[in-house]
Amino acid sequence: MTTKNPEYDFKWCPGCGDFGVRRALEFAMAERIQKTGSAMESNVVVAGIGCSGNLVHLLEGPQPFGFHGIHGRSLPIAMGTKMARPDLNVVVVAGDGDFLSIGGEHIGPQAARNLNICAVVMDNGVYGLTKGQSSPTTELGTNTSSTPYGKIEESINPLELYLTLGVSFIASGFSGQPRPLAKLIAQGMDHPGFSIVHVQSPCTTYNDTYEIIKGNSKKGIEPSIWELPEDHDASDKQAAYGVVRSGGLPIGVVYQQEGRPTLDDRQADLREKAPLKSAQELLDAFQL
Amino acid sequence: MQTRDFVVRFAGEGGQGVVTAAEMLARAASSVGYHVQTFATFPSQIMGGPTWTQTRISTSPVLSPGDDLDVLVALNHEAYQGHNEEVRSGGVILHDSEFESPDDERAIGVPFDELAKQAGEARSANMVIIGALAHLVDMPLAFFEDFVQKRFAGREGIIAANVAALRLGYEHASDSEVQIGQLEPPVKPEGEQLLIKGNEALSMGAIAAGLDFYVGYPISPATPVLLFMERNLVGPGKFAYQVSSEIESIAGLLGAGFAGKKAMTATSGPGLSLMSEGIGLSWIAEIPLLVIDVQRGGPATGLPTKTEQSDLQAALHPAHGDVSIPVIAPGTVEECFYGGVMALNWSERYQGPVILLSEMSLAEKAQNIPKPDLGQVVSESREVYTGTNGYLRYDGWELSPMPIPGGPGAYVANGSEHDAMGDTTHLPERHVQMTERRFSKLKLLEDGPFERVNGDEPIALMTWGGSKGPSIEAYEDLITEGHKLAWYYTMCLNPLPPALLEELRSKDLVIVPELNYQGQFSSYLRSLSVKAESITQFTGLPFKVRELKKRIIALAEACKGGKVAA
């Protein structure tokens, strides 16, 4: 919303990582409309349900179109919008519970299609809005409100999952670095195909990981965040597997597959092949 | 003896060409001007399993599949055993003389495959059968020869073999010296005719109404709609695509409807269940879209290839929360076309979800219908917002123009309760206002047409959906026999046309034939203060007219005797 709406009563907690992701997305979209000369209204932000999904209401400045739908279905809603209107820039914003648990079934099909959208996943390792249940990225053994004696399920490695499913652009970022994150989101939006920017976006209330990510020299905690080296070859899938299996929080473009047609490219090719018939011609074919 | 009506059933095993034979007979007969209808029921497997298809040919429009068989074509012994009791007295059973002749004076053995081979084309056994049938009802073989000429135009070898097969079948049946009557010559219907199935007619209706976007997932008996769209919904701005689940289907429609496209999918009961939450989202976020449910039998996987009308309550209230989804249920193949047009128009007009209920018996029924005049089809499109930014999308008490991405008026389409600009809110007065706004939009859909005959009678017959055909036939018989009964019918089940509802409320009893256990439509009518009672059937098959008449009379008598509590 462009101006403060007194009726809108949702708030992120102080220090929530999602503030930084919102800022980064605003930077990336502003840069994009400037670069392409398009209007902000040609951007569509499809949001999932959870703390992260509220981002779509909290964007400041010129407003894109938004769709705040139902839990887990942001990807297929975005698929509908993109295939209806390939000219639009479609961005998904979702959390780890929304994207990887209830919505996990939708990642594979978009990867196989190389659907030309960018998904920004805010991973805080917990269900925040429902007050602290375990999510797919919560570590094994963690006590949460839904795992009072410790989580008995291993956490997933989202970046490795995306690689394995064939997502054609994978970046890893941190909400505490809005400017570099904006650059990754901009690259994701520019990438022709399915891009995921997976962001560590800590939950200060239920799973505060700032110290783990940034480190604390006084306590002798080493930062887990690390920059991908400049010589990382993002087109090399094996190198990408090396990155996502090396632990910590890598920052940068992990993998980018170039030159692969998108679903709308292939759809356009198909139109060349399919014989175009009018409604009248179709009806005439049934005539006795 | 002259007859005006001829019912033949082809029964055998899946893969034996049973459906092809029945449809070929229907096509040949309709091409010379007879009215035809087929009815098919399949096993749920690719090959094998007992299957049968019925073709009814008449000199006047065909309303139901026909209660009794004039001829049974039995391709194996099981088919003979399973169906011979439905052959009327004086009827004939044509059976493959490959299997042992049943001890049945109605039976005529014909070596279908052997005669086909003699004709020079092993695959022409269907023509042998059709030739034999032509003899039995004394139809000129020339009708079918012309049909073969046209169907295989340019392929002289195949034409010769098929014509030879027709003649061999005809001659073989002549040797038996049995005939069941002479089918009167056809009275060619006025105007151009189509031979089309329900699923195809629905698809054509939606395309005529300007459909842009189709995504779907294979499911019996709705799959033919997906296949039709994949093949034909092509060209600039059009999109048809198979997605990974019915959840993806409904989500895809939401995304496309939001982006300004006329969007639809077709599914069956299990898919409708999976779409539940998405349909609710479409209602609250006010996104136009159309879901076609081609009903099959039972819950869960149920009876995937049998017919039933048991999804009505699920269609009226598919989602949690306060919703009331507009429902259109065509009752004939012709209505499938116009129902498809109307359903897409409704979704655009009130900017929300519409469910069209078809059913297996309509979906697979090939029937001749008057060719729709596309010039007369009205295609409605939503009112699009063209003003400036800062627009209140959900303002007002009824409808507001819809902004389309790329254009002005950016807003958030919101599945959470929201204020006029689309922001989430929990204020009690806003939930009241928005709930009332959503329900008020249904008023835009109260223009549905309905049928009324003998409206002064206090007891009425009112069926819905695919039970229309057998119900009309029963009704017309009953009136001819002197019974007093009103007839009402509409495709528009929600909202019901208000004038119709008012008349129904004045009746002593409304009798509702429907194919489900619970009497779903009559309980809906009772919830609207109509005294209604159902005649139910849940066999997976359509009503037989004779049975229906008996049960209508019994209910009407009970009402007059004060024995119906309604």
Q: Is A222 exposed, middle or buried (0-12, 13-18, 19+ CB in 10 A)?
A: exposed
CATH topology of domain B451-560: Rossmann fold (3.40.50)
Q: Catalogue the E-assigned strands of chain A.
A: 43-47, 65-68, 89-95, 118-123, 126-127, 133-134, 169-174, 195-200, 225-227, 249-256
Spatial CA neighbour of B258 closest among B220, B224, B284, B230 = B284
Q: Which residue of A has its CA nearest to B287?
A: A67
- Say yes or no: B196 contacts chain A, CB-CB below 8 A: yes
Domain presence at residue A3: no
Contact B412 A56 (CB under 8 A): yes
Contact A78 B255 (CB under 8 A): yes
Say how many CB pairs under 8 Å bridge A and B.
196
Q: Give, as one character, the DSSP assignment of residue B425.
A: -
In the three-class reduction of DSSP (H, G, I as helix; E, B as strand; rest coil), residue A211 is classed as helix
- Say yes or no: A16 contacts chain B, CB-CB below 8 A: no
Closest Cβ opposite residue A109 in set B232, B248, B389:
B248
DSSP assignments along B254-295, one per residue: HHHHHTT--EEEEE-HHHHHHHHHHHHHHHHHT--EEEEEEE
B65 CB-side CA count, 13 A: 27
Domain presence at residue A229: yes
Query: Residue ranges of the domains in chain B?
Result: 2-183, 195-376, 451-560
Query: B247-264 burial string, b = 16+ CB within 10 Å, else e?
Result: bbbbbbbbbbbbbbbbbb
pLDDT in tens, chain B (566 residues): 788 899 999 999 877 778 888 988 999 999 999 999 999 887 777 777 888 999 999 999 999 999 999 999 999 999 999 999 999 988 999 998 888 777 888 999 999 999 999 999 888 999 999 999 999 999 899 989 998 998 899 999 999 999 999 999 999 999 888 888 899 999 999 999 999 999 999 999 999 999 999 999 999 999 999 999 999 999 899 999 999 999 999 999 999 999 999 999 999 999 999 999 999 999 999 999 999 999 999 999 999 999 999 999 999 999 999 999 999 999 999 999 999 999 999 999 999 999 999 999 999 999 999 999 999 999 999 999 999 988 999 997 778 999 999 999 999 999 999 999 899 999 999 999 999 999 999 999 999 999 999 999 999 999 999 999 999 999 999 999 999 999 999 999 999 999 999 999 999 999 999 999 999 999 999 999 999 999 999 999 999 999 999 999 999 999 988 776 54
Mutation for testing the B interface, residue in A56, A85, A117, A267 having most B CBs under 10 Å: A85
How does strand B69-74 pair with strand B5-13?
A: parallel
Domain presence at residue A94: yes
Q: Which residue of B has its CA nearest to A63?
A: B410
CATH, residue A235: 3.40.50.970
B 109-148 residues with CB < 8 A to A: none
> What value does the CA radius of gyration of chain B take, rounded to a whole number of Å?
26
Residue B552's identity, in one-letter code, is I
Q: Which residues contact B271 (CB under 8 A, 6 or more apart)?
A: B217, B219, B222, B246, B249, B265, B293
Bridge partner residues of B95 (DSSP) = B74, B109
Q: Are the CB atoms for A178 and A23 separated by under 8 Å? A: yes
Domain presence at residue A155: yes
Q: Give ipTM to 2 decimals.
A: 0.97
Contact B278 A79 (CB under 8 A): no
> What value does the CA radius of gyration of chain A take, rounded to a whole number of Å?
20
* CATH 3.40.50.300 for the B2-183 domain, yes or no: no
A 231-270 residues with CB < 8 A to B: 267, 270
- Say yes or no: A1 contacts chain B, CB-CB below 8 A: yes
- Say yes or no: B260 contacts chain A, CB-CB below 8 A: yes
Domain presence at residue A10: no
- In the block, which residue shows the tokens 């399915």? A194
Closest Cβ opposite residue B30 in set A63, A69, A288:
A288
Q: What is the 3-state secondary structure (H, E, C) of B111-168?
A: CHHHHHHHHCCHHHHHHHHHHHHHHHCCCCHHHHHHHHHHHCCCCHHHHHHHHHHHHH
Closest Cβ opposite residue B200 in set A8, A84, A286:
A286
A 159-198 residues with CB < 8 A to B: none
pLDDT beyond 60 at A57: yes
Do B451-560 and B195-376 have the same topology in CATH? yes
Contact A79 B255 (CB under 8 A): yes
Q: Are the CB atoms for B280 and B319 separated by under 8 Å? A: yes
Domain presence at residue A124: yes
* Dihedral of alpha carbons B118, B121, B123, B129, sign: negative
pLDDT bin (cut points 50, 70, 90) of residue A157 is very high
CATH number of B195-376: 3.40.50.970
Q: What share of chain A is helix, strand, coil (3-state, %, to 5)?
A: 40, 20, 45
Q: What is the mean predicted confidence (pLDDT) over A135-152? A: 96
The domain tally of chain A equals 1
The parent domain of residue A179 ranges over: 18-284
- Say yes or no: B243 contacts chain A, CB-CB below 8 A: yes
